[in-house]
Amino acid sequence: MAQSSTANDLQGKVAIVTGSSRGIGAGIALELARRGAKVTITYTSPKSETLANDLVSNIAALDNGSQATTVQADLSQLDAPDIIVAAARAAFGDHIDILVNNAGVLFERALQETTAEDYAAIFDVNVRGPLLMTKAVVPHLQAPGRIINVSSVGARSGFPKLALYSASKAALEGLTRGFAAELGGSGHTVNAVEPGPTESDMLNDVPENLIETQKKATPVGHRFGTVDDIAQVVAWLASGHARWISGQTISASGGYTMLYSDLSLYLLVIHVSHFQQALNISNT
Ligand SMILES: NC(=O)c1ccc[n+]([C@@H]2O[C@H](COP(=O)([O-])OP(=O)(O)OC[C@H]3O[C@@H](n4cnc5c(N)ncnc54)[C@H](OP(=O)(O)O)[C@@H]3O)[C@@H](O)[C@H]2O)c1
C-alpha cells in the first residue's frame, strides 16, 4: 500500500509521466500529484483509457491543488512526443517542469530468433521514445527542469533472452549522462532511476526462475519492489532537494544492484593511499 506524502514540495509544478496508466508510471504520477504537481498521464492501449481516467479521479480526490489530464499516444510512433507535449500545454499552460520517461516494453527473444523488427520494437519505445520526448519538452522546460529516465537493473546485468531490453536501458543511461551534460547550463538536471523487479504487469513477462533468483538476491527484505518504492525516489529527484544531482543513475532495487561511480572509486584509492602513508609515518 502506497504511503501518503505530507510534503508539498512539487506544488504548482507541471509534469509529464509517460506510460502512467498503470504500474510504476501510475505510482509516479500519483506521488507527484500528492506533492502538488499537475500531471499529464499518457497511455497507448485503448483498454487503458479507463485506468488513466480512474487515476485522474483519484488525483482530483486528493483536493490539494494538483490536477491531471490524460493523452493517448504510441511512443513507438514519431509524432507521439508532440501529441503529448501539446496535451500538457493545452491542460496546464506553456511551461513544463518535470518529464519522467517511464514508458517501456520488454519481451524475451533468444539471440538466434532476434530480428531487426524486434530490435526496433524495443529500441523505438525504450530509447528513441525518451530521446524524442526530451527533445520535444526542452523548449518548454522551465529551469530548474527535471528529467528522470526510468531504466532497469537490466542495464548493468546480463540475462538470457533479454539482451535487447538490457541494451536499451544501457542506452537510456547513456542518454541520461549526455543530456545532463548538455542541459545543465540551462539549469536542468537529468537522472535515471534503475528499478529492480517491481510488482507490475511487466513482471509477468519476466521468466519466473529469473525473478525468484532476483528476489533472493535482494538484500532488503528479499522481496519485490512496490511501485511506491520507485515513485518515492523519482519524486525526490523531481524535487528541489535533489538540485545538485545530475547525470546519475540511482538503483532503486533494495540493494540488488549496488552502483559505484568512478569518483567514489577514486576517493577510495585516495583514502587508502593516505591511510598507507599514515601507517608508514607511524612505523618510522
Ligand atoms: N516492473 C519491473 O519489474 C521493472 C523493473 C525495472 C524497470 N522497469 C521499467 O519501469 C518502467 C515501467 O514498467 P512497468 O513495470 O510499470 O510496466 P507496465 O506495467 O507494463 O506498464 C507500462 C506502461 O508503459 C506504457 N506503454 C507501453 N508501451 C507503450 C508505447 N508504445 N507507447 C506509450 N506507452 C507505452 C503502457 O501503456 P498501456 O497501459 O496503454 O499499455 C503502461 O502505461 C519501464 O520502463 C520498465 O522497463 C520495470
Question: For the whole model, what pTM was predicted?
Answer: 0.92
Q: Tell me the C-alpha distance between 79 and 60, whole Å.
A: 29
34-58 pLDDT, tens digit each: 999 999 999 999 999 999 999 999 9
Question: Using CA positions, which residue lies closest to atom 45 of ligand 1?
Answer: 104
pLDDT at 170: 98
Amino acid 238 reads A
* Residue 148 grid cell: 528522470
Q: Cα(218) to centroid of ligand 1, in Å?
A: 22
Q: Which of 84-93, 202-211, 253-262 has the largest mean confidence? A: 84-93
Q: Which of 155, 127, 174, 149 is nearest to 256 (CA)?
A: 155
- CATH number assigned to the domain covering 14-283: 3.40.50.720
Half-sphere exposure of 39 (CA within 13 A, CB side): 37
pLDDT in tens, 90-149: 999 999 999 999 999 999 999 999 999 999 999 999 999 999 999 999 999 999 999 999
Task: Render pLDDT for 228-264 as a digit per residue (tens, 0 to 9).
Answer: 999 999 999 999 999 999 999 999 999 999 987 555 5
**Annotated active-site positions, please?**
151-152, 165, 169
Cα of 94 from ligand 1 centre, angstroms: 27
